[in-house]
Chain A
């Protein structure tokens, strides 16, 4: 049998590993956490723990809530009042929801005031605002990326660029999507003028916890990052790593040498999560790790939105198969950490 050629070759994926310590002045954890703006899911793996400690639980429960607006016309993001109360006064996280980056028009409003529009060719030709062809569409440019700094002088209400974009969005390209919105530190109050005009709902990040028992676990200090991430993914997705002879569902095995953990707690939280909250969680986990315990490690994985037009630091993101962009922070009790930043094929290199 001759397999098709592209099945033999897997698309490129990027993995950046960073081994350092929180005590090191030059550690870049906080900047790396900040740069992934749109986090969809945070999952924490706590070994030798049956229920989440109280202060971790309280941090997880205090993740800020976010808003979902149905059928928001994108020109509302250029509304003068919204710009003044929300965009100029802090950081707004906005992302189009239920749009697919490889076929629909996607919009992201980044906390630094940049509006990123990833448009298909027809919409781009209608809008009439200068953009760049997507890096990931090959010779036939079928996708364009427009990046606009809303804090720029020309984009001030009444300015040339502002009026051009506004007339484009209002009269030529009627772009409406469901939109996820969150604001730091104002929360809902600063978004209220915008929300009140449309059909909106407030959402709390969803918290799930799952206890696992008798889990085989690789030796973390020596394990190679690829097999570690594979094992972690299998644990996260509840896939058995037994590789027993009677089951052909999964042939994954836990990398050798391995130990067995009697109980493991897996906590995950889903929603539009702010990097600030993730940062707070990391600080809390560091405090938790300082307590003397049986196992002295903990892993935290943060997944970015698959269909976000941007990934690390506002760089273009695309989806080829999975569109994954995530990082895993493996922390030890001596304040050292392993940070693995990974992206799929259609993405730029993480910082």
Chain B
């Protein structure tokens, strides 16, 4: 038996082999006496039944037609061995006997990768950032990008702000409301860009669905998801008649981090 090649073969190589195999099959049907062919057959026909076919003697009538005579088994084997020895290039580096008696070993192309993430059995860690990104956990599917789907969120947010500001009556002072809003969560608020360095953002209005460190993602009435950078824009938030302006450049924190953050009053509010 020969080695099976373990390296991936090119197309041309594969085609050549297929032709070779085909020609061998033809020879087999003729049960030729030619030893080289016989040897080829031996090489190729790994199946037992083929081997049996090869070892059959040539029928009497064919012997006459071809003008050849079948040898005895021992003779044929001796001839084959001698022929192979002669025809294989003499290379001292290779162990010929070893090559001829090698067994085919199928090697896998690559090992299956092990899951590198080691699970800590004591505490469920959840997904890491890369996995979240790969799973698109924080991306809203296009079929869910509908304004009316987020209206209940807006109602919830309004209720939350009213609770936060102790009822939010028209008499409550704007400073108090703004102090509360500064630390509040804005997911679900209807925000409008009232001023921006980039004129095309101005006038965009919609429900805030996601807040990141540097951008707001809002969904507009036209069911479009828009990403608006906080920097260089001013946003207006309206709740119960109180309109607050948020200077985005000063608001560049995550919602969770902002609640614990102390805002500085110094600096310019110019865009």
Contacts and interface: CB of A to CB of B under 8 A. Distances in A.
B173 to A, nearest CB: 27
A131 B197 CA distance: 11
Leading 4 A-B pairs by shortest Cβ distance: A128-B202, A128-B199, A125-B195, A128-B203
B46 to A, nearest CB: 74
B253 to A, nearest CB: 23
Say which size band chain A's interface belongs to.
10 to 19
Contacts of B197: 125
Given A125-B195, A125-B271, A126-B194, A172 B202 contact: yes
B202 A126 contact: yes
A118 to B, nearest CB: 15
A167 B203 CA distance: 9
B196 interface: yes
A130 B271 CA distance: 17
B204 to A, nearest CB: 9
Contact of A172 (B194, B200, B201, B271): B194
A130 B194 contact: no
Given A126-B202, A127-B202, 9 more contacts: A125-B195, A125-B196, A125-B197, A125-B199, A125-B202, A126-B194, A128-B200, A130-B199, A168-B202
A124 interface: yes
B203 A130 contact: no
Question: Per DSSP, are chain A's interface residues mostly helix, strand or loop, or mixed?
Answer: helix
A29 to B, nearest CB: 40
Contacts of A172: 194-195, 202-203
Contacts of A130: 199-200
A100 B201 CA distance: 29
Interface in B183-211: 194-197, 199-203
A84 B96 CA distance: 100
A164 B196 contact: no
Nearest to B201: A128
Say which size band chain B's interface belongs to.
10 to 19
Contact of B203 (A124, A131, A168): A168
Nearest to B234: A125
Interface of B: 194-197, 199-203, 271
Interface in A108-161: 124-131
B203 A126 contact: no
Nearest to A163: B203
B158 to A, nearest CB: 23
A246 B3 CA distance: 121
A168 B199 CA distance: 10
Contacts of B200: 128, 130
A157 to B, nearest CB: 18
A126 B233 CA distance: 10
Contacts of B199: 124-125, 127-131
A14 B242 CA distance: 54
Interface in A163-198: 164, 167-168, 172
A43 to B, nearest CB: 42
A121 to B, nearest CB: 8
A131 B195 CA distance: 15
B231 to A, nearest CB: 13
Contacts of A128: 196, 199-203
Contacts of A164: 203
A125 B201 CA distance: 10
A287 B195 CA distance: 57
Interface in A233-283: none
B148 to A, nearest CB: 23
A126 B201 CA distance: 10
Contacts of B196: 125, 128
A130 B203 CA distance: 13
A125 B200 CA distance: 10
Nearest to A122: B195
Contacts of B195: 125-126, 172
Nearest to B204: A128
A129 B203 CA distance: 10
7 contacts: A125-B195, A126-B194, A127-B202, A128-B200, A128-B201, A130-B199, A167-B203
B187 to A, nearest CB: 25
A122 to B, nearest CB: 8
A158 B271 CA distance: 31
Nearest to A144: B199
Nearest to B196: A125
A168 B202 CA distance: 9
Nearest to A141: B197
